[in-house]
Amino acid sequence: MFQALKGDKVLWGILALLAIFSFLPVYSASTNLVYVIGKGTPWGYLIKHFIILVIGFILMISIHRIPFHYFKGVSILMLPVVIILLIFTATQGTIIQGANASRWIQIPIIGISFQTSTLASVVLMIYSATYLSKLSRKIPTFKSSISRFWFPVFIIILLILPSNLSTSALLFVMVLVLSFLAGYPIRYLIIVIFTAITTVFLFFSLMKTFPGAFPNRIDTWINRIENFRNGESTDGNYQVRRAKTAIVTGNIFGLGAGKSRMKNFLPQSSSDFIYAIIVEEFGLLGGIGLIVLYLLLLYRLVVVSYKTSNVFGKLLVIGLGIPIILQAFTNIAVALQVLPVTGQNLPMISSGGTSAWMTCISMGIILSVSANKKIENKDENNPLIILSETN
């Protein structure tokens, strides 16, 4: 079985440890889900989490055996698909359990919801790596890069923005970082940043002028930022206060697996605030140990990127790997009240299908790069590669 796994073995080990460890806090926090939703059992949620991770690892194992340069053409083909999905998601106005869930679409055949922004983020990062890898041969003019690169980037980010500010912000920052590392002219990046700031300012101005368009999300963002800045004891800080109580209660060694008390008061104890439950049950040592695992994952991503001779492979590892690390530390920072509430979950730990599957797909592509890191910087005689080059 181990011989069938290609690529960086340390990466495989870290991902396996994260997945195995996730069962403990998810099972513990699921008792709160049973109480809030009023149906199901903790074992049912544990089995669901197990099935999600099994499907995720099947995707990872399957994808890591595909040569990573095939994903150049795949990103070109998938770009219009994700744009259509984002438009459909934004216009349907889905309500799940009484909450505004315009970030998800329902798949009636299998009875689950799918978050299209996570798929769009992965596709956009692959597309960005595809375009930016050509800079090693020729620096494009700003005019040509607008239509072929920045236009699809802004379209996707603007479609994600109304329902998910934190995801769109992280995605834009990663595109900028990838562009800088690829050698995209800094003077062009300054123009792009100025344009983005102006666009966001106009967006917020329009939404405040016409509050009927997206009232729930705009008000939520403003309340979260104001509550974080002022530290007021309002409903917006309720979960943060409970999370900090859970972290303080954990002390050094924790209360023990399954013995969390704050999980009964944290509505998002199995997803957005699962780190607080981990610290409460496994203490400071458990919390630091989890951070060390993510730091080790970051280190292996840097190693894989450094050892890869192919420019596209380097950018692919950075573009798909670093967002996972940023998402993890954003989740941890929210629990510690270093950042305002963002809604970002803990990769490979939190419950939830779409995010876990997209993380597994991203890691599968990274493992493909690590398994084929000696591929030279030359065009392969493959129709998908030719398609990406001609576009």
pLDDT tens for the chain, 391 residues: list them: 666 788 888 999 999 999 999 998 888 887 766 666 556 677 888 888 899 999 999 999 999 999 999 999 999 999 999 999 888 887 775 544 444 456 677 666 555 677 888 999 999 999 999 999 988 777 778 888 898 999 999 999 988 887 788 888 899 999 999 999 998 999 999 999 999 999 888 887 877 776 665 545 666 666 666 666 665 544 456 777 888 888 888 888 888 887 888 777 777 777 788 888 899 999 999 999 999 999 999 999 999 999 888 899 999 999 999 999 999 999 898 888 888 877 788 899 988 778 889 999 999 999 999 988 655 454 443 333 333 343 4
| Tally of CA atoms within 13 A in the half-sphere of 362 that contains its CB | 30
Handedness of CA 189, 195, 199, 205 (dihedral sign): positive
Q: How far is CA 154 from CA 62, 146, 162, 390, in A?
A: 31, 10, 13, 21
How far, in Å, CA of 177 to CA of 112, rounded?
Answer: 34
Q: What is the DSSP letter of 343?
A: -
Other residues' Cβ atoms within 10 Å of the Cβ of residue 1:
4
Collapse the DSSP code of 112 into the 3-class scheme (helix H, G, I; strand E, B; otherwise coil) and give the result: strand
Give the per-residue SS3 of 129-156. HHHHHHHHCCCCCHHHHHHHHHHHHHHH
Q: What's the one-letter identity of residue 222?
A: I
Domain ranges of the chain: 2-390
Burial class (CB in 10 A: 0-12, 13-18, 19+), 18: buried
Name which of 167, 206, 179, 100 is nearest 323 in CA terms: 167
Q: pTM of the prediction?
A: 0.86
